[in-house]
Structure 1
């Protein structure tokens, strides 16, 4: 694959990251972004994070999806990640006032005593390691993103406000104060409109972010006037960290000040995106391109809420699956809601490896739509030789490991599964990917499979078929291949005397009587992995019921 082949394919691809990047290419047809001084600057992608809580799967998916679009855009302009043609900013809104104390904080008293102060000016309730609550959560965000190898620049709102880097943009907000009010006031309820101001001054007495009417005294000097909570009329600067902006105005100001070209956001921020888009135009900027994605749902189809705790954490996914499988699950159809619960993990793991194995067989246009092809390039290059692992496969599926672990029951352990796999693989080494899955399979089986298993007794015709399978295994050699074992399992299910309407009924009987589940693996692979004699013991136990 040449770079020109990639450029040509990327510019017409129907894969969603490339569709998004194609809209950016219309903004910058030659792939370069002019700067104010006549030079060029990187095309800027942004993701936002609210540090009132710890980063979570929603944070991960937004950075991942934005990075996928970034890499797609680079492919279209023939740039490599190291060329510096693009930049990703992970922005932390740590000047927001703390509105309520999160439920999952132990030292709630620290936060309760500092309600409505900027997150970056509240002492950390966790330890003295960080200077503020926001600093702690910002550090967690960086650690979180680094864990997955994302390429990004971290920018904190507090640094931009306090250092004066936002001052020019804040002056523009003050100049356009009435125009912004004309946009916002019609969207607000009467009681909210009565106190609404684009600028939120910070009280010189309490340090709180105030929701009060603000009069612009001198836009060029940055001076505003307001009444503090104690009734005192205060005249002070809005610059240098002495104020922050209302959320929708703040978002627009950030787009304007940083020159953001692309930012995606969730469906719940649709209205915010509309209003902020109007405000950034008033400021003299341009609304970024971006995708509005659907939100995650729990297994009941209900919206995931941090306060309800009905979601799935990154740690939970990685306990029962892998980082790659999480990226794979998130990749498709960002405009469709996804149910996010532990039950989706096993299939995501196995589908990831199936798509990875397929890459070398696919034409380039199909590769651009392959989730794994894109994921392998999130933190690497674009040419095939720069994405090691394309075409790799695992000798056993995750589903098969889960079935083996469930059969072993209380005896299932990492060492036990590893022993079975070593026997199955012979001289082939397991490798780190399989070792990860062994650990995940033991965890998943212990927590979710073992408590639900119920092996039923076989029906009369099923018992006869099981006896036939046992007779075959009694004479089978230990080195018989999984494929040959699978063929014989098929043949037994086809025999008329056992009365199965179709092979699905036969395999369902095997799963329910031998494994205690409604679904299961290729039985030939399972018998090969578990061993012929052990498999015969399972049959004997089923017949004894």
Structure 2
């Protein structure tokens, strides 16, 4: 009996596709490409939450295309016109960046000096990640959309009901912030910075202008400060308490982010977008804005947050949790995509310790998919993530455990141990070995200190002498000669060479590591002084 994949239980992508189809019917939108959206704040290094939003949306996009045959676009908008409000903790050049607080992100210098701006550097990072996980999308910049007039007609609609929309969004902020809150933030004609604290004096929808002042009588609270600032302190080079008229069109103003989210969805005619659980209240405001403007809101899907090993939300400004670069070094493409497909509404822990489980889940699904009657769910999941080549050879976790037991010093040593243990027809893919090695580098414990008593020093000196005197001899043979039948010396050798009291057969390890590197490790152990620790109690290999 065949099973329709789109009718398998828990196919959330098919459910979302149906919601989008119903939305398009309500909108009367039966022609043209259907737009799927995503937003990205390029003020900090992209993290797994950003990537998950785009990848998961791409899953829904493909399900919709399969179900309807309609053309689609996936547009990721980088909000590079937003202000730099806080210097991220995980970037260099803090003092230099602090001098640009309040400036649009596309005018803040890149702290690594590798891109024209901070925003452009973060966009480049996001592009590289999306290319690695094979997501087909367009990445555009908010500054380009504003300046090109892409939002102008929608901005005029906001201006026509400015008081109502501004009050609606303003109710979502605190009482103190509300005193100087406006959905429109002018770009200063004087300094170019984003003016976030204004009192709007007048708007002209016909001319598309805004007249505002920076009020004298407000206290400005900034992230990281325990005290408030006077307007003349925060806006030192701006006129305070004086009316200023600017254009709200063509990039003369930028919307506060909740209103900006609604603006972007309206202007882009977006049908579907995702957001984290932490933005549930903001999504509610966005829907209220659509209702006030008598427009049908897109389908907004709320997903569970990613948390670090301490249960804290992973944040790009803090830089906590499993760094995305490290994750991509260790995770397979299909492992990451399968993680992002499964149960998207559930919060997930994302840390280094999760890597073997994430990668090996693809093996589990591949095995389950072979079941003719009970494997429909697994076949669906593999299809949704685009897994075309079944994994072969041992699991990632098996390779990781092998490396942990054998303690290779480098990637070449890892390959040698893998080739020694696994027969040719069962050897893992070289790329999997490389990822396992990179995981091993990050996960292995710090070496234990070596406490050299007189007997241990004598053993190490004998081995050093043997390795130096016969560099081309078999290191395993030299080892046995240096030990002179003393099995109690193995423990100190393990500590000196591997940084732990036990390990693989030392003769094999020395042959794979090589005489030169082994000699360097022995000499390094002899040169180090270590605090007192547990004396060698003997042991054997």
- Using the size of structure 2 for normalisation, the TM-score is 0.72
Contact in 2 for aligned 1:357/1:393 (Cα 8 Å): no
**1:193-234: CA deviation from partner (whole Å, max 9, x where unpaired):** 221112111111121211202233311210111125423311
Q: Is 2:18 aligned against 1:22? A: yes
Equivalence for 1:196: 181
Tell me the CA shift for residue 354 of structure 1: 2.3
Which of 49, 62, 87 is equivalent to 2:40? Answer: 49
Contact in 1 for aligned 2:258/2:282 (Cα 8 Å): yes
Equivalence for 1:230: 239
Secondary structure of the 2:74 match is strand
Tell me the CA shift for residue 420 of structure 1: 4.8
**1:459-513: CA deviation from partner (whole Å, max 9, x where unpaired):** xxxxxxxxxxxxxxxxxxxxxxxxxxxxxxxxxxxxxxxxxxxxxxxxxxxxxxx
Q: Unaligned regions of 5+ residues in structure 1, if any? A: 377-386, 454-525, 531-541
Equivalence for 1:436: 431
Change (3 A) 1:97 1:421: closer
**Alpha-carbon separation, structure 2, partners of 1:449 and 1:26:** 51
**Which portions of structure 1, spanning 4 or more consecutive aligned residues, are displaced by more than 6 angstroms?**
none
Contact in 2 for aligned 1:294/1:337 (Cα 8 Å): yes
Q: Unaligned regions of 5+ residues in structure 2, if any? A: 215-237, 449-503, 509-537
Change (3 A) 1:99 1:417: closer
**Alpha-carbon separation, structure 2, partners of 1:100 and 1:450:** 34
**Alpha-carbon separation, structure 2, partners of 1:200 and 1:320:** 42
Equivalence for 1:63: 54
Which of 192, 200, 207 is equivalent to 1:221? Answer: 207
Which of 338, 350, 356 is equivalent to 2:366? Answer: 356
**What pairs with 1:438-457 in structure 2 (closer than 5 Å)?**
438-449=433-444, 451=446
Secondary structure of the 2:338 match is helix
**Alpha-carbon separation, structure 1, partners of 2:378 and 2:22:** 20
**Alpha-carbon separation, structure 2, partners of 1:416 and 1:120:** 45
Contact in 2 for aligned 1:65/1:331 (Cα 8 Å): yes
Tell me the CA shift for residue 421 of structure 1: 4.2
Contact in 2 for aligned 1:11/1:22 (Cα 8 Å): no
**What pairs with 1:273-352 in structure 2 (closer than 5 Å)?**
273-352=283-362
- The CA RMSD over aligned residues, in Å, is 3.3
**Alpha-carbon separation, structure 2, partners of 1:26 and 1:301:** 37
Q: How many residues align?
A: 435
Change (3 A) 1:395 1:412: farther
**Alpha-carbon separation, structure 2, partners of 1:102 and 1:195:** 25
**Alpha-carbon separation, structure 1, partners of 2:377 and 2:66:** 13
**1:374-415: CA deviation from partner (whole Å, max 9, x where unpaired):** 111xxxxxxxxxx631xx232212222122212212x46443
**Alpha-carbon separation, structure 1, partners of 2:286 and 2:36:** 17
**1:56-89: CA deviation from partner (whole Å, max 9, x where unpaired):** 2111111111111111112222x3xxxx611100
Equivalence for 2:252: 242
Q: Is 2:415 aligned against 1:415? A: no
**Alpha-carbon separation, structure 2, partners of 1:171 and 1:28:** 25
Equivalence for 2:234: none
Secondary structure of the 1:46 match is strand
Contact in 1 for aligned 2:265/2:298 (Cα 8 Å): yes
Secondary structure of the 1:268 match is helix
**Alpha-carbon separation, structure 1, partners of 2:432 and 2:78:** 34
Contact in 1 for aligned 2:5/2:376 (Cα 8 Å): no
Q: Which moved more, 1:108-117 or 1:160-169?
A: 108-117
Contact in 2 for aligned 1:47/1:264 (Cα 8 Å): yes
Change (3 A) 1:107 1:40: same
Equivalence for 1:152: 137
Change (3 A) 1:224 1:427: closer
Change (3 A) 1:201 1:364: farther
Q: Is 2:396 aligned against 1:398? A: yes
**Alpha-carbon separation, structure 2, partners of 1:446 and 1:230:** 55
Change (3 A) 1:310 1:186: closer
**Alpha-carbon separation, structure 1, partners of 2:445 and 2:183:** 56
Contact in 2 for aligned 1:199/1:245 (Cα 8 Å): yes
Equivalence for 2:191: 206
Secondary structure of the 2:66 match is helix
Equivalence for 1:388: 388
